[in-house]
Amino acid sequence: MARAEEGKINPFGVLEFLSWNHSWNNFQYPDEGSLKKSIALMKEAGIGFVRVDFSWQDIEPSQGKLDYSKYDDLVALLSQNKIDILGILDYSADWDSPKGAWNYPNPDNTFFLKYARGVVQRYKDKIKCWELWNEPDSQTYWNPQDGLKGYVDLLKEVYVELKKIDPFCRILNGGLASGLPGVNHLYDNGAQGYFDIMNIHIFETPLDSQAIKRAQAFVRLTKKVMARNNDADKKIWITEIGCPGVKKGKKVKNWWMGKNPSEKDQARWVKEVYSNLLKDKSVGTVFWAFFRDTNQHWENGVDHFGLIRNDFSKKPAFIAYKENAFKPSSSLP
């Protein structure tokens, strides 16, 4: 039985691309050995939850032909190491898009539901938390944008179907990237009652002295919107928060928020994030993005979001994360 089902949720999570083994991501995890290295380091850092894509394209590369082998192995490895999984059900399969695109147009609900049911049915004994899509309020991930109308329609159908398979699973809305407008659009389109945990993303640069105050303010404002919509009792999970940590002397293009923070700046931000955001009782798990640096996937500072470098060496941020995770106040009930 997963620890998430027992109610013992570890608030220290990470987003990590453990299912990436494709040319477009430069084969981030090409074999079991690389997976085992990262998972062992996650365990050492005190990480209790990992957020992972369960790619529709990987699982159903052509209509009706299913291949769960990659995810069977991955789920087994994480379960053996007692790390819970937040599985993301995402993106469009090539064959479901007239242009063969993963993000355009929005998925056919009937085909997507069949894939989602299959995944949850297969892993329901080991995975108790599922997220529908990632950043559906961003044109990068859901195109065309329609103020979350199409997304909420899909969310409603997915919620009902997955609860039939596993009444005890917890379903999260796709992490919201547009700030408070995304939270309002979710409710405006009738999502209340069709997700169990509010899911938001927060990005600030630690080079700004007011960064943590803005992050805390966003959580407070989200809570107000939830209360106004009779959802005050739900937890908020921050499934992405992070920043680059670039090694001194390394030339890297800046990320979208301007100058790249150094590895030292990144470690300080890790400490601020976990020391402050988890004080709010409405906040459940906080997922650092990412665990491991990527290999020239974004070709800017985003490739350096990891707590560890691409070669698996530890950054100062890894030490900061570990120190927070193993503080007495962070222990599970």
Residue-wise pLDDT for 249-297, tens only, equals 999 999 999 999 999 999 999 999 999 999 999 999 999 999 999 999 9
- HEC string of 180-236 equals HHHHHHHHHCCCCCCCCEEEEECCCCCCCCCHHHHHHHHHHHHHHHHHHCCCCCCCE
CA of residue 65 relative to chain centroid, distance: 27
Number of H helices, E strands in the chain: 10, 8
Residue spans of beta strands (DSSP E) within the chain: 12-15, 49-55, 84-90, 129-132, 170-172, 198-201, 236-241, 283-289
Which pair of tokens denotes residue 154? Answer: 């899909």
Residues 6+ apart with CB under 8 A from 45: 12, 307, 318, 321, 322, 325
Q: Could you tell me the residue range of the domain that residue 48 belongs to?
A: 3-330
**The domain spanning residue 132 has which CATH number?**
3.20.20.80
pTM here is: 0.95
- Contact (CB, 8 A) for 261 and 245: yes
Instruction: Look at residue 5 and tell me whether its pLDDT is greater than 60.
Output: no
Total domains in the chain come to 1
Which pair of tokens denotes residue 166? Answer: 């596993």
What is the SS3 assignment for 87?
strand
Q: Which of 62-71, 93-102, 234-243 has the lowest mean pLDDT?
A: 93-102
**Count of residues making up the chain:** 333
Q: Round to whole Å and give the CA distance between 56 and 119.
A: 9
Q: pLDDT tens-digit profile of 144-154?
A: 999 999 999 99
Closest CA to 79 of 125, 32, 45: 125
Longest dimension (CA), the chain: 54
Q: Round to whole Å and give the CA distance between 112 and 162.
A: 12
Instruction: Look at residue 230 and tell me whether its pLDDT is greater than 50.
Output: yes
What is the SS3 assignment for 258?
strand
Q: What is the pLDDT of residue 7?
A: 53
Q: What is the pLDDT of residue 103?
A: 86
Q: What is the pLDDT of residue 106?
A: 83
Mean pLDDT score of the chain, rounded to an integer? 95
Instruction: Look at residue 330 and tell me whether its pLDDT is greater than 80.
Output: no
Amino acid present at 162: L
Amino acid present at 181: P
Q: DSSP character for 170?
A: E
Instruction: Look at residue 12 and tell me whether its pLDDT is greater than 60.
Output: yes
Instruction: Look at residue 333 and tell me whether its pLDDT is greater than 60.
Output: no
- Contact (CB, 8 A) for 264 and 218: no
Q: What is the pLDDT of residue 104?
A: 82
Backbone angles phi, psi at 23, to 5 degrees: -65, -35
If you average pLDDT over residues 166-192, what whole number do you get? 98
What is the C-alpha R_g of the chain?
A: 19
CA distances, 91 to each of 46, 94, 122, 149 (Å): 30, 9, 19, 17
If you average pLDDT over residues 218-243, what whole number do you get? 98
Q: Round to whole Å and give the CA distance between 130 and 138.
A: 20
The pLDDT-based confidence of 8 (bands split at 50, 70, 90) is: low
Q: Which of 91-100, 210-219, 318-327 has the lowest mean pLDDT?
A: 91-100
